[in-house]
């Protein structure tokens, strides 16, 4: 979110994880690794003397130690107050104010809406339902539904989510692959990266091979999109969906 | 011939008990069958069942599900359950220990860590099947346990201790690997929680022949295994070789549990519960127990797996977790009726060197002081290693001091609690984690975690304390009925601990993005330590160290056994209640600040004793110093080794302390 507003962070937690799973917007080359996302290294943070620390709210991190080092700006996502996309817009504005980049924030919001609108336009005529999944093992999929950022993007693009089952407060459900029968021959979009060990096992599965959607050749992988991300992730997702058509 | 007649006689004598066995198996079987038929009817009309079985039409999704998901799942639950019931019975017979199960002998941990390594670093190996990897890992750890216990003629206690330590070391290693590869570990989280969801016939077809072979071998061996009921000397005089019988029995059990672990992951509690239930219901002879425990295991797992499928949750609860949840309360109910013959084979045998100790405490304190200073001042920054100058230290102190204080006090508290528990129960396996206090605290925190979308530190602390108190209340009356009998207390503790770890497995498998924090806490990180935590922990530790010496006389007498204690005029109930309180409060505080990973509580007392601190008071202080030092060093190393990333202190302590502890055991064996 910070990068989307045109500011280069001096350090980010779990840079490798970010590059594998979120990919864009790209981290600047000189960006330092702060350690894990659960335990950013406070000693390194203290040494770097940053002007501002931003973090996502709701991951259970205690704010107090960060506040002692530098001013802290927390971004609440998935706290259940608003649909994730709306919240992402509101938080982008807030962050823009905090960083003195209101213009950039408004631009990002408008640009994201335009990207999604553009993606929707490219889809015309093809309003087939699809399901979005992450594959973490050969017997289960994580399917995104109501309450997720990805669902909001689908809604804005006028695409029906083929998965209508219940989801948790983060907008997804983990379930056995056989439940995918429920979506019939609908399109399945799976988010990369799919670990090699999962690919191997999936290929050996007779159930997977016989699923209607797999048999119909309707499973497509798209490059990584961080499903718990902000506007940049939403725009990225919309772009990939449009490219599928 | 003789054996057959004896079995028949036994059958007659306990005939009035067999209806209970029938009940034990048929009630869950009936319910499971109803649920299965109900599930089937929803899936496919009854008249199509047979046709879809022999000639399925896979363009029909219902038939696909029926053939490649539903039926394999039923089959796998029956097969895996039977295997675990049998494996548990064999292990309990071989080790003469009602707590024995694949987890206790290290099989599950070895299989788990082998699969974790293969999955993360050599996924191509999985192409030829994960069974072999899991069995190799399980066999390796089990062999290591044998090796360690061999010098002591496979004494049950020695095996259990070695198995426990190896398990802890392995699971710390897997936890560490998974923490370093968080996003790639989802499969492992799910696998560890024991899900029976199937994606084809492959697993069932692989599992079935293995099970048949092992079960056949087990029944062939059952005559020799029976002789293990006698003492080793009497068995030897009848021409049996207890050691080779044990080895073959354990080999079969390892094969059984290894293959199950490879196929469906860790199914908690079943291998412990099925044989125990069968014994309670009246199965006497080994052959009876083997047959009935296999049946009970099969129907219980089948029943559990059907049950989790009708529970209304967004993400399905894995059967392996559910078995622990259903089984643990059951154990609580049954505990008062359970006949336990404690094996008081002294692992606490005297050591050659004896130190009265006080002179050694001074250098111990000096070492601690130096270590504290080093942990505070020495560190890494973006520029590399350096000692902090005074001005810098003042800046760093708020970050480092709470962690150092928390690690030191938590280590000392757990060590003292462990020492007291081991002396009180006369059981060298005793540790705060085994008592279930840490487990209870963990449960409290986890429940808060899943019920709220946001949470803060005070709420976390309160939830943890609640959990600790509740588990304490649960455990106390269980033991109370028999004057807080030590072994029952341990069993009750195991039940709570199993529930907690099962619950954490299911939360971890759910894939909640807030998991990082939770994993950190579960693996004993001091990252979130606040100044308040530091003060609370330090104060509790100091108070504990001030009070505990007063109980030294009790702690000298209790290991001599109940009879001796009564003769020497100890009011056992009162003494045990006081000690229980003295154990639980510091354990709860330590768990809250450093997580439920309390390997230190098991390790430090043994180290102190092996160093020659035999008497209660010196042992208490020596293990407090050792426990504090272990966690302190682990915390410092964890902060520095892979800077800016950090390794949780609890994990590192288990990872380094485990092997060290094993070396001590190995040396002592001669």
Residue A198 CA to chain centroid, in angstroms? 21
More confident residue, B105 or B626: B626
Torsional sign, CA A121, A122, A124, A127: negative
- Statement: residue B82 has pLDDT above 90: yes
Both B372 and B333 in a single domain? no
| pLDDT interval class at B6 (50, 70, 90) | very low
What's the farthest any 2 CA atoms get from each other in chain A?
Answer: 57
With an 8 Å Cβ cutoff, are B514 and A175 in contact? Answer: no
Average pLDDT score over residue span A164-179: 81
Q: What is the number of structural domains in chain B? A: 2
pLDDT of B297: 93
pLDDT of B479: 43
Of B174-183, B351-360, B647-656, minimum mean pLDDT range: B351-360
- Statement: residue B483 has pLDDT above 70: no
- Radius of gyration (C-alpha) of chain A in whole angstroms: 19
Output the six-digit token pair for A44.
Answer: 């390194």
Neighbours of A109 (CB within 10 A): 17
pLDDT tens digits for range B528-549: 788 888 898 899 899 999 998 8
pLDDT of B512: 64
Average pLDDT score over residue span A6-14: 83
The C-alpha atoms of residue B629 and residue B625 are separated, in whole angstroms, by 6
Whether B34 and B41 have beta carbons less than 8 Å apart is answered as no
More confident residue, B482 or B1: B482
B643 touches chain A (CB under 8 A): yes
Average pLDDT, chain B: 78
Average pLDDT score over residue span B35-51: 84
With an 8 Å Cβ cutoff, are B190 and A170 in contact? Answer: no
Of A49-63, A164-178, B272-286, minimum mean pLDDT range: A49-63
More confident residue, B585 or B89: B89
Q: Which residues pair with A131 in a beta bridge?
A: A188
The C-alpha atoms of residue A96 and residue A104 are separated, in whole angstroms, by 7
From residue A163, give the alpha-carbon distance in Å to each of A123, A191, A224, A242: 20, 15, 20, 19
Residue B87 lies in a domain: yes
Output the six-digit token pair for A160.
Answer: 């029906």
More confident residue, B104 or A11: A11
Average pLDDT score over residue span B445-454: 74
Q: Which residues in chain B touch residue A77, judged by CB atoms under 8 angstroms apart?
A: none
Residue B343 lies in a domain: no
Residue B332 lies in a domain: yes
pLDDT of B13: 46
The C-alpha atoms of residue A129 and residue A131 are separated, in whole angstroms, by 7
Average pLDDT score over residue span B594-622: 82
More confident residue, B561 or B379: B379
Average pLDDT score over residue span A45-73: 78
From residue B598, give the alpha-carbon distance in Å to each of B186, B593, B657: 25, 11, 11
Average pLDDT score over residue span B160-188: 75
Q: Which of B61, B179, B199, B505 to mutate to test the interface with A (most CBs of A within 10 A)?
A: B199
Let me know the angle formed at the C-alpha of A107 by A104 and A113, rounded to the nearest 5 degrees: 145
* First CA to last CA distance, chain A: 28
Neighbours of B311 (CB within 10 A): 9
Average pLDDT score over residue span B36-52: 83
Q: What percent of chain A has pLDDT over 70?
A: 96
pLDDT of B154: 61
| pLDDT interval class at B153 (50, 70, 90) | low
Q: Is the ipTM of this complex over 0.85?
A: no
The C-alpha atoms of residue A190 and residue B436 are separated, in whole angstroms, by 42
Average pLDDT score over residue span B335-357: 49
The dotted CATH code for A130-244 is: 3.40.50.1980
Neighbours of A216 (CB within 10 A): 13
Omega before A25 within 30 of 0, i.e. cis = yes
pLDDT of B8: 41
Output the six-digit token pair for A80.
Answer: 């259940």
Both B239 and B376 in a single domain? no
pLDDT of A15: 83
pLDDT of A50: 85
Residues 76-95 of chain A with CB under 8 A from chain B are 78-80
With an 8 Å Cβ cutoff, are A21 and B314 in contact? Answer: no
Nearest Cα of chain A lies from the Cα of B93 at a distance, in angstroms, of 36
| pLDDT interval class at B77 (50, 70, 90) | very high
Both B414 and B460 in a single domain? yes
Output the six-digit token pair for A121.
Answer: 């336009």
Nearest Cα of chain B lies from the Cα of A45 at a distance, in angstroms, of 10
Domain span holding position B537: 367-380+387-669
- Which burial class, exposed, middle or buried, applies to B417 when counting CB atoms under 10 A from its CB (0-12, 13-18, 19+)? buried
CA neighbor of B413 nearest in space, from B227, B250, B537: B537
pLDDT tens digits for range B378-411: 877 777 777 777 777 777 888 888 999 999 999 9
Q: Do domains A1-76 and A130-244 have the same CATH topology?
A: yes
Residues 160-219 of chain A with CB under 8 A from chain B are 165-170, 172-178, 181, 184, 195-198, 200-201, 204-208, 210-212
Q: Which of A43-47, B105-109, B545-549 has the highest mean pLDDT?
A: B545-549
DSSP class of residue B384 equals E
| pLDDT interval class at B453 (50, 70, 90) | low
What's the CATH number where B630 sits?
A: 1.10.3470.10
Whether B426 and B545 have beta carbons less than 8 Å apart is answered as no
With an 8 Å Cβ cutoff, are A181 and B61 in contact? Answer: yes
Nearest Cα of chain A lies from the Cα of B308 at a distance, in angstroms, of 13
Both B292 and B372 in a single domain? no
Both B450 and B322 in a single domain? no
Q: Which residues in chain B touch residue A21, judged by CB atoms under 8 angstroms apart?
A: 183
Q: Which residues in chain A touch residue B58, judged by CB atoms under 8 angstroms apart?
A: 210
B19 touches chain A (CB under 8 A): no
The C-alpha atoms of residue B205 and residue B75 are separated, in whole angstroms, by 10
pLDDT of B350: 45
pLDDT of B152: 63
pLDDT of B482: 46
What is the tally of helices (H) and strands (E) in chain B? 29, 2
Both B371 and B323 in a single domain? no
Residue B158 lies in a domain: yes
Both B168 and B261 in a single domain? yes
B357 touches chain A (CB under 8 A): no
pLDDT of B617: 86
pLDDT of B355: 55
Residue B95 lies in a domain: yes
- Statement: residue A24 has pLDDT above 80: no
CA neighbor of B298 nearest in space, from B221, B358, B215: B215
Q: Are strands A172-176 and A140-144 parallel, antiparallel or unpaired?
A: antiparallel
- Statement: residue B243 has pLDDT above 60: yes
Both B174 and B291 in a single domain? yes
| pLDDT interval class at A55 (50, 70, 90) | confident
Nearest Cα of chain B lies from the Cα of A48 at a distance, in angstroms, of 9
| pLDDT interval class at B490 (50, 70, 90) | low
- Statement: residue B566 has pLDDT above 70: yes
pLDDT of B347: 43
Of A132-146, B117-131, B212-226, B254-268, minimum mean pLDDT range: B117-131
Both B173 and B228 in a single domain? yes
CA neighbor of A235 nearest in space, from A64, A124, A120: A120
Residue of A nearest to B648 (CA): A39
Residues 112-171 of chain B with CB under 8 A from chain A are 119, 123-124, 126-127
Output the six-digit token pair for B586.
Answer: 């510091």
Both B490 and B544 in a single domain? yes
A223 touches chain B (CB under 8 A): no
Average pLDDT score over residue span B237-262: 83
Residue of A nearest to B458 (CA): A62
Residue A11 CA to chain centroid, in angstroms? 21
pLDDT of B86: 94
B392 touches chain A (CB under 8 A): no
CA neighbor of B520 nearest in space, from A13, A193, A52, A149: A13
Residue B283, CB half-sphere, CA atoms under 13 Å: how many?
A: 23
Residues 6+ apart with CB under 8 A from A124: none
The CATH number corresponding to A1-76 among 3.20.20.70, 3.40.50.150, 3.40.50.1980, 3.90.190.10 equals 3.40.50.1980
pLDDT of B348: 45
With an 8 Å Cβ cutoff, are A59 and B197 in contact? Answer: no
The domain locations on chain A are 1-76, 130-244
pLDDT of B627: 92
From residue B141, give the alpha-carbon distance in Å to each of B3, B206, B431: 35, 23, 22
* First CA to last CA distance, chain B: 42
Residue B342 lies in a domain: no
- Statement: residue A194 has pLDDT above 70: yes
- Statement: residue A127 has pLDDT above 80: no
Average pLDDT score over residue span B462-476: 73
pLDDT of B84: 93
CA neighbor of B174 nearest in space, from B130, B116, B120, B227: B116
Of B277-291, B482-496, B539-553, minimum mean pLDDT range: B482-496
A106 touches chain B (CB under 8 A): no
A19 touches chain B (CB under 8 A): no
Of A39, A79, A176, the CB nearest to B520: A39
pLDDT of B201: 80
| pLDDT interval class at B331 (50, 70, 90) | low
User: Within B56-105, where are the H helices?
Assistant: 61-65, 71-95
What is the tally of helices (H) and strands (E) in chain A? 10, 9
- Can you tell me whether residue B55 is helix, strand or coil? coil
Both B257 and B189 in a single domain? yes
| pLDDT interval class at B292 (50, 70, 90) | very high
| pLDDT interval class at B515 (50, 70, 90) | low
| pLDDT interval class at B78 (50, 70, 90) | very high
Of A43-57, A101-115, B8-22, B526-540, minimum mean pLDDT range: B8-22
| pLDDT interval class at B646 (50, 70, 90) | confident
Whether B623 and B430 have beta carbons less than 8 Å apart is answered as no
Output the six-digit token pair for A137.
Answer: 């093992």
| pLDDT interval class at B301 (50, 70, 90) | very high
């Amino acid at each position: 979110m910070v990068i989307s507003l045109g500011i280069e962070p001096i350090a980010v937690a779990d840079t490798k994880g970010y590059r594998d799973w979120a990919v864009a917007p790209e981290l600047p080359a000189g960006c330092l690794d702060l350690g894990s996302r659960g335990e950013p290294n406070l000693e390194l943070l203290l040494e770097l003397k940053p002007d501002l620390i931003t973090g996502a709210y709701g991951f259970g991190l205690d704010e107090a130690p960060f506040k002692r080092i530098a001013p802290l700006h927390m971004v609440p996502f998935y706290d259940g107050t608003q649909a994730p996309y709306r919240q992402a817009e509101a938080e982008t504005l807030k962050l823009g104010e905090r960083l003195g980049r209101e213009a950039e924030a408004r631009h990002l919001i408008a640009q994201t809406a335009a990207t999604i609108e553009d993606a929707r336009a490219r889809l015309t005529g093809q309003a087939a339902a699809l399901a979005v999944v992450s594959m973490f093992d050969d017997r289960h999929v994580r399917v995104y539904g109501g309450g997720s950022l990805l669902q909001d993007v689908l809604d804005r693009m006028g695409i029906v989510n083929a998965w209508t089952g219940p989801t948790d407060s983060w907008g997804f459900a983990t379930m056995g692959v056989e439940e995918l029968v429920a979506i019939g021959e609908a399109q399945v979009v799976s988010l990369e990266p799919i670990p090699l060990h999962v690919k191997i096992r999936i290929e050996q599965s007779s159930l997977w091979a016989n699923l209607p959607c797999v048999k119909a050749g309707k499973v497509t992988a798209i490059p990584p999109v961080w499903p718990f991300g902000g506007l940049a992730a939403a725009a990225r997702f919309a772009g990939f969906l449009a490219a599928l058509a | 011939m003789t054996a057959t007649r004896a079995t028949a006689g036994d059958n007659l004598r306990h005939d009035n008990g067999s209806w209970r066995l029938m009940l034990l198996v048929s009630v869950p079987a009936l319910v499971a069958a109803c649920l299965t038929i109900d599930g089937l009817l929803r899936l496919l009309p009854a008249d199509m069942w047979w046709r879809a079985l022999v000639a399925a039409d896979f363009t029909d999704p219902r038939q696909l599900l029926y053939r490649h998901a539903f039926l394999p799942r039923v089959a796998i639950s029956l097969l895996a359950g039977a295997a675990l019931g049998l494996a548990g019975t064999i292990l309990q017979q071989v080790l003469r220990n009602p707590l024995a199960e694949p987890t206790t002998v290290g099989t599950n941990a070895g299989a788990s860590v082998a699969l974790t390594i293969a999955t993360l670093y050599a996924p191509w190996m999985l192409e030829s099947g994960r069974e072999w990897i899991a069995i190799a890992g399980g066999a390796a750890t089990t062999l290591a346990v044998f090796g360690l216990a061999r010098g002591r003629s496979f004494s049950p206690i020695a095996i259990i201790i070695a198995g426990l330590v190896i398990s802890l070391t392995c699971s710390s290693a897997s936890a560490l690997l998974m923490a370093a590869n968080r996003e790639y570990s989802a499969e492992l989280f799910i696998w560890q929680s024991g899900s029976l969801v199937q994606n084809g016939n492959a697993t069932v077809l692989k599992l079935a022949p293995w099970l048949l072979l092992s079960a056949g071998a087990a029944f062939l061996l059952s005559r020799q295994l029976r002789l293990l009921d006698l003492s080793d000397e009497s068995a030897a005089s009848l021409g049996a070789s207890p050691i080779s019988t044990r080895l073959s029995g354990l080999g079969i059990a390892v094969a059984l549990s290894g293959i199950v672990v490879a196929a469906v992951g860790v199914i908690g509690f079943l291998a412990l519960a099925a044989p125990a239930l069968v014994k309670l219901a009246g199965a006497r002879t080994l052959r009876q127990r083997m047959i009935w425990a296999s049946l009970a295991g099969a129907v219980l797992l089948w029943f559990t797996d059907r049950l989790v499928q009708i529970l209304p949750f967004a993400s399905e609860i894995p059967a392996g977790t559910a078995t622990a949840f259903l089984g643990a309360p059951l154990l609580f109910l049954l505990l008062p009726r359970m006949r336990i013959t404690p094996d008081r084979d002294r692992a606490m045998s005297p050591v050659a060197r004896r130190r009265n100790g006080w002179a050694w405490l001074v250098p111990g304190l000096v070492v601690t002081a130096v270590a504290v200073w080093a942990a505070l001042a020495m560190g890494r920054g973006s520029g590399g290693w350096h000692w902090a100058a005074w001005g810098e230290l003042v800046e760093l102190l708020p970050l480092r001091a709470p962690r150092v204080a928390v690690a030191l006090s938590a280590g000392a508290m757990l060590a003292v609690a462990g020492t007291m528990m081991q002396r009180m129960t006369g059981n060298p396996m005793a540790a705060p984690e085994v008592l279930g206090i840490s487990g209870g605290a963990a449960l409290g925190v986890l429940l808060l975690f899943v019920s709220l979308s946001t949470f803060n530190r005070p709420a976390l602390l309160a939830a943890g304390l609640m959990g600790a108190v509740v588990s304490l209340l649960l455990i106390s009356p269980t033991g109370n009925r028999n004057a807080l009998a030590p072994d029952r207390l341990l069993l009750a503790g195991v039940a709570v601990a199993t529930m907690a770890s099962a619950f954490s497995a299911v939360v971890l498998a759910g894939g909640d993005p807030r998991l990082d924090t939770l994993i950190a806490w579960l693996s004993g990180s001091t990252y979130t330590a606040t100044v308040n935590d530091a003060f609370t922990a330090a104060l509790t530790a100091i108070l504990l160290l001030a009070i505990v010496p007063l109980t030294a006389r009790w702690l000298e007498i209790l290991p001599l056994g109940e009879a001796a204690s009564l003769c020497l005029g100890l009011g056992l109930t009162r003494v045990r209640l006081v000690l229980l309180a003295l154990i639980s409060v510091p354990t709860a505080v330590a768990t809250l600040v450093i997580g439920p990973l309390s390997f230190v509580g098991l390790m430090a007392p043994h180290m102190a004793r092996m160093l020659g601190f035999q008497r209660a008071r010196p042992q208490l202080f020596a293990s407090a110093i050792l426990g504090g030092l272990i966690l302190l060093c682990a915390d410092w190393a964890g902060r520095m080794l892979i800077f800016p990333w950090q390794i949780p202190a609890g994990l590192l302590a288990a990872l380094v302390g485990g092997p060290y502890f094993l070396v001590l055991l190995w040396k002592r064996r001669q």
